[in-house]
C-alpha cells in the first residue's frame, strides 16, 4: 500500500515569459536547462508630468523676449532691422515661395503721378475769386465751368445785386464771368459760387476808398423810419440819421429826393454804412480850400491858445503863434469875439476837419497888426501875394 506521502509531487508551473505562455516541460531523457529569468512586468505608470512632457529644464533661464523672438519690423522684418540676415525656412509642401518686393521693383512714372494729382486737385477755396464760363442753367441757378472736375453752381439768389427776372438773358451760354467761391467742393467735386458776394465785396472796397478820400457822393432816398432815412449806394444799404439831415424834422418828405452826403461810418464786417448830409456840406467846403488861399471869416470863439473862425460852414483855428510877429500879451489885443478878419490858410486836413489860419504873414514889420490892424486888413489881397511866395519858399526849404 502506497502512502500518500510517497506519491510524487507534481512539477511546479512554469512562470510565464515576456514573449508568450509557459514552455512545455523538458524531455526526460536530457538534463533540464534552467529556465530563463523573465523581466518583471512594470505596472502601467501614471501620466507623465509637465517637466517630462515639455522639457522645462531646457528652457530654464530664458526670458519672455527669448521665447517670443524678435519683434517684426514694419519695414521688412525684425532680422532686417537688427542687421541680421533672416534664417532660411523650408517652404511647406505644395506652396511656392514668394519673394518680397520693394517699391523700386514696380514701374513708377513721376510725371503721370503729378499730372493725376493736378487733375484731381480741388479748384476754388472759400473766398477765392475765379474766372469761369457759363455752360448751362436750371430754374434755380446757373452752372459755370471754373476749371475743376465738376462745374461750379451759382444759386439764383447769388446771381447779382438786385432782382434778376430772366436768368437766360442775363447769363447766356459762353458768357465769361468772374465769381467768388462761397463754399468749397462737395463729394461730387462741385463748388458753390456767387456773383452777388463778389459785387458786394467790390462795393465795400470802393466805398472805403471814397471815405478815405473824403468824397461827397449823391444818393437817392428810398425809405425812412423813425430814426432817419435809407438810401442805396453802390448796391449797399446806407442810413442817414435825422440828426445828420439838413431837414431832419420833416424827413419823410425826403423820399425820392437826391442828397449829397459824406461818410460817418463804413464797416463791412458789421455791414454798417452811415452817412451825413451835414458833413457833406463841410466836405464840400473843404474841397474849395487850399494852402495859401486868403479867406474871410468871423471870430466865433476865443480860447487860451487862439481864435476859432467861422469860414462859412467850417471852422479854422488862428493859433496865438500865428496872429502877429510882435509881442502879444492878450489875445483880445488883436481881435474880439464876433469880429470879422482876413487870414491866409497854411494847412488843410479834411480827414480831421482842421484848417490852420495865419495873419502874421500879412504884416509888414512884425507887430504891425497890433498898431495898424485896419491897414493890414484893407491891403490883405495885395499882401497875400507876397505871403504866398514866402509860403512856397518855406515848403521848398522843408522839402
pLDDT of residue 391: 78
Q: Is the pTM of this model over 0.75?
A: no
The answer to whether residue 393 scores a pLDDT higher than 70 is yes
C-alpha closest to that of 306 among 322, 286, 290: 322
Least confident of 268-282, 354-368, 382-396: 382-396
Per-residue pLDDT, averaged over 35-39, amounts to: 50
> What domains can be seen in the chain, in order of their start residue?
129-199 (2.40.50.140), 214-283 (2.40.50.140), 288-398 (2.40.50.140)
Mapping DSSP to helix (H, G, I), strand (E, B) and coil, where does residue 203 land? helix
Give the residue from 291, 348, 286 showing the smallest Cα distance to 317. Answer: 348
> Which grid cell sits at 111?
510725371
Scanning the structure block, which residue is given the C-alpha cell 451760354?
Answer: 173
Binned at pLDDT 50, 70 and 90, residue 208 comes out as very high
The whole-chain average pLDDT of the chain stands at: 78
pLDDT at residue 22 greater than cutoff 50? no
Q: What is the DSSP string of 99-150?
A: ----GGGS---HHHHHHHHHHHS----TT-EEEEEEEEEETTEEEEE-SSSS
The whole-angstrom separation of Cα 219 and Cα 230 is 10
Q: How many CA atoms lie within 13 A of 56 on its CB side?
A: 6
- What average pLDDT does this structure show over 118-131? 70
pLDDT tens track for 166-179? 888 889 999 999 99
CA R_g for the chain? 56
Sequence-distant (≥ 6) Cβ neighbours of residue 321 within 8 angstroms: none
pLDDT at 46 over 80: no
Gap between the Cα atoms of 143 and 298, Å rounded = 65
pLDDT at position 31 over 70:
no
Q: What is the pLDDT confidence band of residue 62, given thresholds at 50, 70 and 90?
A: low
pLDDT score at 167: 85
Top pLDDT among 109 and 328 is at 328
How far is the C-alpha of 126 from the C-alpha of 111, rounded, in Å? 29
Contact 306, 299 (CB under 8 A): no
Amino acid at each position: 500500500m502506497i502512502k500518500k506521502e510517497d506519491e510524487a509531487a507534481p512539477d511546479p508551473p512554469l512562470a510565464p515569459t515576456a514573449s508568450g505562455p509557459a514552455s512545455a516541460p523538458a524531455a526526460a531523457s536530457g538534463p533540464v536547462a534552467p529556465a530563463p529569468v523573465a523581466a518583471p512586468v512594470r505596472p502601467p505608470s501614471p501620466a507623465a508630468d509637465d517637466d517630462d512632457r515639455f522639457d522645462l529644464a531646457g528652457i530654464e533661464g530664458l526670458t519672455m523676449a527669448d521665447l517670443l523672438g524678435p519683434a517684426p519690423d514694419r519695414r521688412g522684418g525684425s532680422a532686417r532691422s537688427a542687421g541680421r540676415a533672416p534664417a532660411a525656412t523650408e517652404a511647406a509642401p505644395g506652396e511656392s515661395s514668394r519673394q518680397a518686393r520693394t517699391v523700386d521693383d514696380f514701374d513708377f512714372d513721376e510725371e503721370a503721378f503729378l499730372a493725376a494729382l493736378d487733375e484731381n486737385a480741388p479748384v476754388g477755396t472759400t473766398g477765392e475769386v475765379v474766372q469761369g464760363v457759363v455752360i448751362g442753367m436750371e430754374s434755380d441757378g446757373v452752372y459755370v465751368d471754373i476749371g475743376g472736375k465738376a462745374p461750379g453752381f451759382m444759386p439764383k439768389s447769388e446771381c447779382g445785386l438786385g432782382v434778376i427776372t430772366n436768368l437766360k438773358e442775363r447769363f447766356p451760354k459762353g458768357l465769361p464771368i468772374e465769381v467768388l467761391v462761397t463754399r468749397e467742393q462737395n463729394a461730387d467735386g462741385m463748388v458753390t459760387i456767387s456773383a452777388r458776394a463778389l459785387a458786394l465785396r467790390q462795393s465795400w472796397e470802393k466805398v472805403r476808398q471814397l471815405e478815405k478820400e473824403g468824397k461827397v457822393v449823391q444818393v437817392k432816398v428810398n425809405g425812412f423810419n423813425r430814426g432817419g432815412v435809407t438810401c442805396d449806394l453802390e448796391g449797399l444799404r446806407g442810413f442817414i440819421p435825422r440828426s445828420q439831415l439838413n431837414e431832419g424834422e420833416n424827413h419823410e418828405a425826403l423820399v425820392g429826393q437826391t442828397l449829397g452826403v459824406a461818410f460817418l461810418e463804413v464797416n463791412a464786417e458789421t455791414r454798417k454804412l452811415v452817412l451825413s448830409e451835414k458833413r457833406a456840406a463841410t466836405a464840400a467846403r473843404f474841397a474849395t480850400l487850399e494852402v495859401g488861399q486868403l479867406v474871410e471869416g468871423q471870430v466865433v470863439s476865443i480860447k487860451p491858445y487862439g481864435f476859432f473862425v467861422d469860414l462859412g460852414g467850417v471852422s479854422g483855428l488862428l493859433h496865438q503863434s500865428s496872429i502877429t510877429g510882435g509881442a502879444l500879451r492878450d489875445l483880445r489885443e488883436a481881435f474880439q469875439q464876433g469880429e470879422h478878419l482876413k487870414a491866409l490858410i497854411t494847412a488843410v486836413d479834411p480827414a480831421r476837419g482842421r484848417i490852420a489860419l495865419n495873419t502874421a504873414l500879412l504884416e509888414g514889420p512884425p507887430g504891425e497888426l497890433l498898431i495898424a490892424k485896419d491897414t493890414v486888413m484893407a491891403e490883405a489881397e495885395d499882401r497875400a501875394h507876397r505871403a504866398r511866395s514866402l509860403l512856397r519858399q518855406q515848403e521848398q526849404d522843408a522839402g
